[in-house]
Amino acid sequence: MDYKLRKTVILWVLALSGLLILGVLWMNREPEDSVREERQDSTRPPLTEKQDGTAAGEQGKDLSAFLQDETFFDEEKNSFLEQYLSGEVLTLKTVSVCGDLRISILGEDGKPVQGEDFLLKFDEEQLMQDSDRDGIVYLEEVTPGTHQIRLMTMEGYQVPPAAVQVMVKEKPEYLKVEDIEFLIYGADEVNGALEDTGFNEAQNDSEKNEIKRRLTTDVNSRLGIDVSEHDGEIDWDKVKAAGIDFAILRAGYRGSVTGVLVEDAGFRDNLYGARAAGLDIGISFFSQAITEAEAIEEASVVLHLLGDRIPEYPVYLISQGAGEQSRAIGLEKEDRTRVVQAFCRTIVNGGLQAGVYASRTWCEQKLNMSDLEAYSVWVGEHRKSPLYQGYYQMWQYTDECKVDGMKEPVNANMFYKK
């Protein structure tokens, strides 16, 4: 119910209650003569008078006096009503992907309320605190089934009066996560030097004899580049005029230390610029997911940022190293493969093509490629011709291609039609 409407309803209820009391008193009054006789015959001692002329214990002679109180119905002046009706109204939004639970504490603007140490009670037993004060509490390894979440009272806020019932899913559905936008950080909100540490493993496979020029295409191939915020400002009209057919644009990344989801600072400009210049596009996302649930979140970030735009080329999860301290460095091959599958399934269920990028060594040692044949494979191998013997649809052959419109040499790729 709307906040102002709630106030109005409560005021009318109080007014009607007062009128009902007046009616009851009027119906049960005694005749004036009998009252006078009773008072004269009574042996009870008189009540002590107060200075205002009313007897001790008497609340006032005029029971309708509240109607004359100009502050009674004034919500700005009535401190009694203000005590119960003031403060921002809070609601709880819960999302479960697979054996987890994310609880968002939303304000009246529909966004997480930040800067408060909110306290929640899980199943009326376990207390949980929003320790980082971002308005979101995340629980891992939650027993699947029905649970209850209660937001504890906090001064200055109106909390839900009852516990919220939630369902924790046992298996993932590979669908876009609701309200994923609440989890996306801007590049200026994180320490990029700490979080954006992806290392292109294809450089380890290079023999420094790769082709650095723009390759010639035929009816079954297309020449493209892949870019991110690290490539700076791009003149997309010049890129198009240089003979580039498409561009793979990095939409974002997951932080290699904290695991935060971050939008690439150049994504929107690159998306609009490439489209305006007439280039086809594909999308990439640098992954540091360690569970299927996190991979589904990463895919959801891409689906959210794209909105209703449909890229001509696949959406690729970038699976590669991010330093010795990165959160995903210890994943087993089977777990890493499941992460890629979860990402791709979610992208496909969102109506788009999906794929995975990895270096030759990564494909051979870190992933079960036989389980990923349903998706587009983009292999990175910087040499004259790839040694990789498995299936691939796109080949990143160098990171030193000079293209008009680019300030620095850029990654170049050949895409082969099926």
In this structure, the answer to whether residues 235 and 345 fall within a common structural domain is yes
Is 256 part of a structural domain of the chain?
yes
- Residues sharing a CB contact under 8 Å with residue 99, sequence separation 6 or more, in sequence order: 140, 141, 142, 144, 168, 169, 170, 293
In angstroms, the CA 47 to CA 384 distance is 109
Residue 299: enclosing H or E segment and its boundaries? Answer: helix 292-306
In angstroms, the CA 276 to CA 56 distance is 84
- Which structure tokens are listed for 198? 């992806």
Matching residue, tokens 């009674």: 72
Is 310 part of a structural domain of the chain?
yes
Is 40 part of a structural domain of the chain?
no
In this structure, the answer to whether residues 192 and 332 fall within a common structural domain is yes
In this structure, the answer to whether residues 164 and 186 fall within a common structural domain is no
In this structure, the answer to whether residues 245 and 358 fall within a common structural domain is yes
- Which structure tokens are listed for 389? 């013997």
In this structure, the answer to whether residues 202 and 348 fall within a common structural domain is yes
In this structure, the answer to whether residues 299 and 361 fall within a common structural domain is yes
In angstroms, the CA 279 to CA 287 distance is 25
Total domains, the chain: 2
What CATH number does the domain containing 326 carry? 3.20.20.80
In this structure, the answer to whether residues 268 and 406 fall within a common structural domain is yes
What CATH number does the domain containing 95 carry? 2.60.40.10
End-to-end CA distance of the chain: 56
What are the pLDDT tens digits along the chain (418 aa)?
A: 555 566 666 667 666 766 777 666 666 665 554 444 444 444 444 433 444 444 444 445 555 555 555 555 554 555 544 544 568 999 999 999 989 999 999 999 988 999 999 999 999 889 999 999 999 999 988 999 999 999 999 889 999 999 999 999 999 999 999 889 999 999 999 999 999 988 676 666 666 778 889 989 999 999 999 999 999 999 999 999 999 999 999 999 999 999 999 999 999 999 999 999 999 999 999 999 999 999 999 999 999 999 999 999 999 999 988 887 789 988 999 999 999 999 999 999 999 999 999 999 999 999 999 999 999 999 999 988 899 999 999 999 999 999 999 999 999 999 998 7
Is there a contact between 252 and 263 (Cβ–Cβ < 8 Å)? yes
In this structure, the answer to whether residues 263 and 164 fall within a common structural domain is no
In this structure, the answer to whether residues 391 and 247 fall within a common structural domain is yes
Is 174 part of a structural domain of the chain?
no
Please write the tens of the pLDDT for every residue from 140-164.
889 999 999 999 998 899 999 999 9
Is 341 part of a structural domain of the chain?
yes
**Domain housing 307:** 180-416
Is there a contact between 137 and 95 (Cβ–Cβ < 8 Å)? no
Is 11 part of a structural domain of the chain?
no
In this structure, the answer to whether residues 130 and 184 fall within a common structural domain is no
Query: pLDDT at position 197, please?
Result: 87
- Which structure tokens are listed for 89? 């109204």
In angstroms, the CA 202 to CA 50 distance is 93
Is 354 part of a structural domain of the chain?
yes
- Residues sharing a CB contact under 8 Å with residue 62, sequence separation 6 or more, in sequence order: none
Calculate the alpha carbon distances from 198 to 106, 207, 287 in Å.
33, 21, 9
In this structure, the answer to whether residues 100 and 164 fall within a common structural domain is yes
In this structure, the answer to whether residues 197 and 227 fall within a common structural domain is yes
Please write the tens of the pLDDT for every residue from 330-381.
899 999 999 999 999 999 999 999 999 999 999 999 999 999 999 999 999 9
Stated length of the chain: 418
Shortest CA distance to 233 belongs to which of 413, 405, 403?
Answer: 405
